[in-house]
Amino acid sequence: MTRTTSEKLLIELKNILHEKVYRGGLEPIPSEKAMLATLWYLAKGETIISVADRFNISLSSAHSIINNVVSAMNKLLKKYIVWPSHNFSKQVGIQM
C-alpha cells in the first residue's frame, strides 16, 4: 500500500472512527496507529498478541482497535469494492 493510499484510507476511517478525547490516564491510541496495527494484523496473519507487542499496546487495546477498524472498513466496502455487472462484461468483451 502506498503512503498516498494509506493517507486516503486514514481520512476515510477518521470520519467513521471518532477519536476519543483525552481525559486523563492512558492516552487514547491515535487513529493512524490503530489503522497501521490493523493493516499489519490483516496482512501478516499474526496473532493479536504479536501485534500488541509490535505496536507497544495492550492486548485488550489491540483487540478493540482491530475490531473497530475492521468494522469501519466494512462500512467503506460498497464505496470502493464494486462487483462487475453484466453490462460491464459486455463492454470489455468478456463472454459469460
What is the distance between the alpha carbons of residues 61 and 55, in angstroms, rounded to a whole number? 10
**pTM, 2 dp:** 0.75
Contact in structure between 64 and 95 (CB atoms under 8 Å): no
Check: CB of residue 27 under 8 Å from CB of residue 44.
no
40 contacts 11 by C-beta, under 8 angstroms:
no
pLDDT at 58: 93
Q: Which residues contact 34 (CB under 8 A, 6 or more apart)?
A: 17, 65, 68, 69
- The one-letter amino acid code at 55 reads F
Where are the domains positioned within the chain? 3-92
Q: What is the pLDDT of residues 21-73, one digit of tens each?
A: 667 677 888 889 999 999 999 999 999 999 999 999 999 999 999 999 999 99
